[in-house]
Structure 1
Amino acid sequence: MEQFYSFIPIILMFVAMWFILIRPAQKRQKATLEMQNNVKRGDRVVTVGGLHGEVDAIEDTVVYLIIADNTRVKFERQAIGRVIVD
């Protein structure tokens, strides 16, 4: 029984790490994935690399962005960092 009591601090540290680090990271990841899946044509977005553009077309995992007049680039959907809300 005494050995069990020596594991209590380790268990408490794991539980604290779960609520402080792991759980919030999972929530952020879920929110980012949801945002990337809900992007639609006409949305203004910023890629994880910092490129600003407007969504022109969407195919399965590919998003085409218009970044300037007559300039269309192809990105993976996962490359979208955020949607700009006006």
Structure 2
Amino acid sequence: MSPEMLGTVGPIVVMIAIFYFLLYRPQKNQQKKRMSMLDSLKKGDKVVTIGGIYGTIEALSDKSLKLKIADRVVIEVARASINAVLTEETEAK
């Protein structure tokens, strides 16, 4: 490889490395955490949806779940719409 070619290809390789370590890799890790959280959902968990609805899981299926949001009020939401599982620590805040 000639020095002229290295001078043109070098910055491109550096940009690709920066893109990988600053954008792609952290996004993949975050996606794995989210999938793990969605797979570990169980009946009785207190959750919040992406839309901000708080509730308790009453029943689960592969694609959806039934969420109790008030006395005698149960709604069905897509499993992917769950944003977070609430613990006692997050509820105290």
What is the TM-score of this pair, normalised by structure 2?
0.88
Aligned ranges 1:1-86 → 2 under 5 Å: 1=2, 2-86=4-88
Question: What CA RMSD, in Å, does the superposition of the two structures yield over aligned residues?
Answer: 0.8
Query: Shift in Å at residue 72 of structure 1?
Result: 0.3
The runs of at least 4 consecutive aligned structure 1 residues that moved more than 4 Å come to: none
Q: How many corresponding residue pairs?
A: 86
What is the TM-score of this pair, normalised by structure 1?
0.95
For 1:60, what is the secondary structure of its paired residue? Answer: coil
Query: Shift in Å at residue 74 of structure 1?
Result: 0.4
Which has the bigger relative contact order, CA under 8 A and spacing at least 6?
1
What amino acid is the match of 2:21?
F
For structure 1, which runs of at least 5 residues remain unmatched after alignment? none
What amino acid is the match of 1:56?
E
Which one has the largest radius of gyration? Answer: 2
